[in-house]
Structure formats: structure tokens, C-alpha cells
Chains A and B, each alone.
Chain A
Amino acid sequence: MTQTTAIPISVDEQPWILPNKGIVGMWCLIAAEAAIFMIFVVAYVYYLGKSLSGPTPAQVLELPILGTICLLSSSLTVHAAVAALRKGTVRRCTLALAATVVLGSAFLLTTAKEWHHLIYEIGLTIRTNLFGTTYFSLVGLHATHVIVGLLLLTAALLFSLSGRVTEHHAERLEVLSLYWHFVDAVWVVVFLVVYVIGR
């Protein structure tokens, strides 16, 4: 035996750490969803001002300030929920989750109110013109994602109310919070495209 072979190569002692599969999976899903939204946004922008008849966005749309504030602040509360769970304070986590569900539902209510106004008072539907087609499908697609997120968040809230959520579930809740952050980020894009640039 020479001196060189005696050098210990301690491969086994190095920790073998791989990323969390839930988080990687959620990022993949977010990439796929982002591509879907991208296509709907492209269609919206492409058809801006191409409607053959009225009404136009400038005539009927108003800035949804209240809904936007609710949705964006729900991102903060869901973040607080994950942070609280990591520290093991389940009570604070439950409160933050409840706040998230309330804020998300408030956003959905403002969208519902807007749609009711457009459909029943203005008479703008998905069949009216290209603006109606692209507006209802883009905002509707986002609202669908909000509904899915709210269902998942409500499930998490019910679990934590029944006392089944512990510190060990922090990573799972983080996966859900990633999705919710994504839904909020999409709203920023929708808000800019539909209500700021498109108007």
C-alpha cells in the first residue's frame, strides 16, 4: 500500500440533500399555468381595439382598487401562515389562514359584482364583441384559479382548526402558498393589461 491509497475519501459522510419534490412540482405547474395565461394575455392585447362594435373597455371598466388590495394583501397573510407554522405557532398559522380565505373571498366578491354590473346593467357578455370575449375569458380564467386556491386554503384552514396541522406540515403549506402567490402575481399582470394599458 502506498501512501496515496490510504487517504480516506469519506463520500458517505457528506449529506445527500435533494430539493423538496412538492416545491419542484409546484414550480413546474406554475410554469405550465403561466404559459396558459400568457396565451390569454396575448389574445387580449392582440384584440385590443379590434372589436367591430361597442362597448369599449374605456366606457365600462373601472379600476378594481378594493379587490386588488384584498388579493395582494392575502399574499402577505399566507406568507405569515407559513412562517408561523415553521416556528410551530399553530394558532397564529390558523389565524393567518383564516385571514387569507377572507381576503381571497372578498376579491372574488368584487369580481362577481363587476361581472354582474357588466352583464346585467351594461349588457356586455362573452358573445357581444371581441372585448367581451377576451375580457371574460382572461378574468374568468384568473377567477377560476382563485376559486381553486380558495378551496385548497379552506381545506388547510379546516385541518388546522381541527388541530391536525403541526410543524411538520410547513413544507406542504409552503407548496400551497407558492400557488397562491402565483395567482396573485397573475392578477398584477391582468390588472396592468386589462385595467391600466387596455383602458
Chain B
Amino acid sequence: MATSTTALEAIDVTDPSAHPPGPGLVYQWLTTVDHKKIGLMYIVYALLFLVVAGVQAMLMRIQLAVPNNHFVSPQTFNRLFTMHGTTMIFFVAVPVLFGFGNYLIPLMIGARDMAFPRLNAFSFWLSAFGGVLLYLSYFAGSGLYGAGSAPDVGWFAYAPLTSKVFSPGHSTDYWTLAVLLSGIGTTGTAVNIVATAFCMRCKGMTLMRMPLLVWLYTVASCMVFVVVSPLSAAQIMLCLDRYLGSHFFDTQAGGSAVLWMHFFWIFGHPEVYILILPTFAFINEIVPVFSRKAIFGYPAMVAASVGIGFVSLSVWAHHMFTVGMGPAGNTFFVFATMVVSVPTGIKMFNWLATIWGGKVIYSVPMLFSVGFLFQFLVAGLTGIMLSAAPFDWQLSASYFVVAHFHYVIVGGIMFSLFAAFYYWYPKMTGRMMSERLGKWHFWLFVIGFHLTFDFMHIPGLLGMPRRIYTYEAGRGWELWNFIVGIGAIVQGVATLIFVYNLVHSYFRGKEAGPDPWDAWTLEWATTSPPPGYNFAIQPTATSARPLWDLKHPEDQDSSYE
């Protein structure tokens, strides 16, 4: 592959940001407003929480591996699934995706930094503080008089369980405040991303030449405004209920538990799309590069993303079919949910059409992308099954639902994230990740993933409810739960290989050079890692693939636009 292109001749290779030693380095990272450093801090912070929440998942799987197990107590189990869910969504998935966004968006649009660098740092530290606050609950959750405990109300925190009467002590307050802080931080970053995409593009980069990654992040960020804010509002109401004695969710005084469900799921379901759109974004960048073809149907991809953004705002109550909304409500949400699969299908076909006829290179990022395509399809199909209200009545709150959404989150989001790690790690550190370890990671993770989450559907179909801490023998669930547990261990081993690869490659990896994948977007037109100012000369975009144009002056994309 080409290691030097005409684009790179313009790069100023003298890097003035020499690292000061010791305390100076810490001070530099604590006070930085540089989008690359903040992006890296987001990613590292999310990886730490990923390990914590992963250990929680392991503990739950050990508890459920055999019937009548007493490995953890019921109270501990409740805390485990609450903390696992809350951590994974708010302090792993959101920060890691925004971390990549922070790092990549300014580079991809040829900008010096985000639109509001200080707001960026503020948002990061707010989210980080939220995560720390959540885990402080382990030490201070029940106030001064207990040994402390973590929240145990589930990541959805249904009313009236969260009221002062049923959840005394402070554990629920820790949950509320941590989620509120994370929500404000997320909104701040979303404001930043939209403003950056609209106002910081380099010369020539019109909206229809923007890399699809930036488009998808922009759509996801616009969704954050209308989706995360309702959650923040609901958390404010819950705080008022718990601290000032108001009655929003107090059923004794006429308050409604169903209202909380609506408010939570108005956030909760579109949140899945906020998480999945950035992972679509990674696939949009990786699949073309490793198929050696331009993305198929760029305008259709943009339209489908915006379509997903709009439609996904009107599907939330499919989480509530068992509440009894009546035929009109049920019918609306069944159809709205099914309609989401149309723009998602457009994307799926466009990715396949991109791969079709390409010279596919099966490097680790591409392997994970192909895994994503297959697993996300299956996850979407069980999603369509669950969107039919009668089917949902039967299987709501069963392990089938757990298997479905873990298929989306692990099979879709995690796989695409791993692809992103292997793809952009050379840019962030200047070194390649080991391909050999990467392939071990991929195959072990695929096997572990399918052992766990394929077989998790079956106890659900056999009637195993979620959130139970143990079960009797003789219901036909033992074998499946045991297999699920084995799969969890395989995934754990694969993740350890990944973490080892991350650390090892940082010191021993092969030098990457500026453009190891022979890619076409602007982040590869600067050194790896990029200097503080990103580009010595402000780049100009002549098409959606500016680096292609520079590398192939005889056959420029711009001549086909």
C-alpha cells in the first residue's frame, strides 16, 4: 500500500507539543481542550467502565450458570443488573462513541478543533464525574447508617419503586444524579458536534461531500437534543419527588407510574439509535476502504440516516405493550416500529452493494465489520418479531428480549466498535495493532458471542423471565444457561486478548505511517498521531474522497460529481 502520497508533502512534521515529564503531563491532560486528547480520555474512561461492567455481567452469568445457585445474594444480583445496564449504556457506550466522534470529526472535515473546545472539556468532565458518582454509591449508598449499597432499581428505574418509601437511603439518588450529569454532558457534546459539522468544515467540503461518519454523528447528535432532554426532565422530576416531596410519580397521591415509563422510553428507545448510528458510521468508513470501492449510494445513506432519526422518535411505546395502551396505541407503535426497518434495510443493502464486486481485504477491521453486518441483521429480525404486539405480550420481560437487545448492543455496537479500534488505532497512536492477536480476538469473540446470545433466546422462548436471581431445576433452562455462561467466559478471554493487544501494540506495534490503509478521508492526510494543530495547511475538499483525488489526479472523483 502507498505509504506516501502527494497529500503528505504538505505536512509539517515538526511537532512542537513535546511531552513534559511527570506532573506537567498530568496537568496537560487535566486541563486540555484539544479534541484529540479529550477523545482519547473519553475512550480510555469508557474502556475502564467496560471492564467493570463486564465483570458484573460475568458475576451474573456465574450465578445463573446452574439452578439453585447461591453465589450472590438476591440483593446483590439486583444491584449487579442495575449497575451493569446503567454503566454499559451511560458510561461505556455513550462515552466511547462520543470519544471516537470527538477524535475523528474535526480531522475528517479538515478543522483545527471542535467548535467549542472548552464546552467539550466541560462535557467530558461532567460525564466522567457522573460515572464516578454512580460508583461512589457502593460506599455511601445507604447514607450514614449502613455499609453502603449500589442502586438496585433496574436501569429503567420504574416508578413507584424509586420513591422514597420503597427505596430509602441514597442509592437511588446516586443513580438519578449520575444519569442526570451524564445527560447534561451528552447534550453538551452533541451541541458541539452539530456546530462543528455545520460551521467548521474546510474549504470545498459541502454537506454532500462530508464523510458519512460526520453525517451520522450529526443525525445522532440532533437526536440527543430531543431524546436525552426528556430523560433529564424526568430525572429532575424524580429528584423533586425524592428531595422536596412532590408527587410526579407518587401513586399514593394520584401520580402515574405509566407516565415515568413513557418519559423513560421516549429516551430509552431512541437512545439505541443514538448508539447504533455512530456504529453505522464506522461501518460506512471501513467497508469501502477494505472493499477498495467508494460507498454505494451516498445520498441514499444520508437520507436513510435522517429517516431513522425521525422514525425512531415515534417507536418508544413498543417497550410498553404489556401496560395495556389499547388497540389504537398498540397498532400505531407496531407499525412505527416496523417502519424503522425500512431505512435500516436500505443501509444494509448499500453496504452489501459496496462489498459486491470489490477487491475485499479481510483485515481485522473488515472481519469485525462483516460480523457486524450479519449479527445486526439477525438482531433486526428478532426486533421485528418483538415489534408485533401479540408476540411481545408472550415474550416481554423474558430472556428472549434480553437476547435480542444484547444481540443489537454486543453483536452490532460492540463489533463495529472493535472494527473502529483496529481501524483508527494506527491514527491515534502511530502504531499498528497486531493482526495475529486481532484475528484471535475476532474468532474467539465470534464464538463466545454466538454461544452466549444465540442460546440465550431459547430459555426466553421456554418462559424464563429476566431479572430473576436463580431458578429451579427441571424447567429445561439448565443446559441453555450453562452454555450461555461458557460463552460469556470465551468472550471474556477474547476481550482480555484485545486489551493486551491495545497495550502491547502501543509499545511494540509496527510503525503505522500516516496512511496505513490507503484510505480516502482527510484524517489520513496528516501524521499519526496528528500534531496539536491537525493540519499545517488547511486542506481543501474537491469531492467526498479528497485523498483519492490527490492520489489519483488522472481519475478524480470530482469529475463525476
Chain A residues near B (Cβ < 8 Å): 11, 16, 18-21, 24-25, 28-29, 31-36, 38-40, 43, 46-47, 50-52, 126-127, 129-130, 132-134, 136-137, 141
Q: CB distance B195 to A24 under 8 Å?
A: yes
Q: CB distance B253 to A129 under 8 Å?
A: yes
Return the contact of A31 from the options B203, B225, B255 (Cβ within 8 A).
B225
Q: Which residues of A contact B230 (CB under 8 A)?
A: 35-36, 38-39
Q: Which residues of B contact A24 (CB under 8 A)?
A: 115, 194-195, 198-199
Q: Distance in Å from the Cβ of B555 to the closest Cβ of chain A?
A: 15
Return the contact of A39 from the options B198, B234, B255 (Cβ within 8 A).
B234
B248 at the A interface (CB under 8 A): yes
Kindly list 12 other residue pairs between chains A and B, CB separation below 8 angstroms, not including A43-B248, A127-B246: A11-B204, A19-B199, A21-B115, A28-B195, A28-B225, A32-B229, A36-B230, A36-B236, A47-B256, A130-B255, A137-B240, A141-B236
Q: Which residues of B contact A47 (CB under 8 A)?
A: 254-256
B162 at the A interface (CB under 8 A): no
Whether A18 touches B201, Cβ cut-off 8 Å, given contacts A31-B226, A36-B230, is: yes
Bound complex: CA of A38 vs CA of B33, how far in Å? 33
Whether A133 touches B246, Cβ cut-off 8 Å, given contacts A25-B195, A29-B191, is: yes
Which residue, of A20, A130, A136, has the highest number of chain B Cβ atoms within 10 A? A130
What are 7 contact pairs spanning A and B, CB under 8 A? Answer: A11-B540, A18-B201, A47-B255, A50-B254, A52-B253, A126-B244, A127-B244
Q: CB distance B254 to A130 under 8 Å?
A: yes
Closest to B226 in A: A35
Q: CB distance A32 to B191 under 8 Å?
A: yes
Q: Is chain A's interface secondary structure helix, strand, loop, or mixed overall?
A: helix
Closest to B540 in A: A11
Q: Which residues of A contact B204 (CB under 8 A)?
A: 11, 16
Q: Which residues of B contact A21 (CB under 8 A)?
A: 115-116, 195-196, 198-200
Whether A33 touches B229, Cβ cut-off 8 Å, given contacts A16-B204, A52-B253, A126-B246, is: yes
Q: Which residues of A contact B226 (CB under 8 A)?
A: 31-32, 35
Size category of the binding interface on chain B: 35 or more
Q: Distance in Å from the Cβ of B243 to the closest Cβ of chain A?
A: 10
Q: Distance in Å from the Cβ of B192 to the closest Cβ of chain A?
A: 8
Q: CB distance A36 to B201 under 8 Å?
A: no
Q: Which residues of A contact B115 (CB under 8 A)?
A: 21, 24-25
Q: Which residues of A contact B240 (CB under 8 A)?
A: 126, 133, 137
Proximity string of chain B (407-425) to chain A, C-beta cutoff 8 Å, 1 when within and 0 when not: 0000000000000000000
Q: CB distance B229 to A39 under 8 Å?
A: yes
Q: Distance in Å from the Cβ of A59 to the closest Cβ of chain B?
A: 17
Closest to B206 in A: A16
> In residues 233-279 of chain B, which contact A (Cβ within 8 Å)?
233-234, 236-237, 240, 244-248, 253-256, 259, 263, 266
Proximity string of chain B (457-471) to chain A, C-beta cutoff 8 Å, 1 when within and 0 when not: 000000000000000
Bound complex: CA of A127 vs CA of B542, how far in Å? 62
Return the contact of B116 from the options A25, A33, A133, A134 (Cβ within 8 A).
A25
Q: Distance in Å from the Cβ of B492 to the closest Cβ of chain A?
A: 38
Q: Which residues of A contact B540 (CB under 8 A)?
A: 11
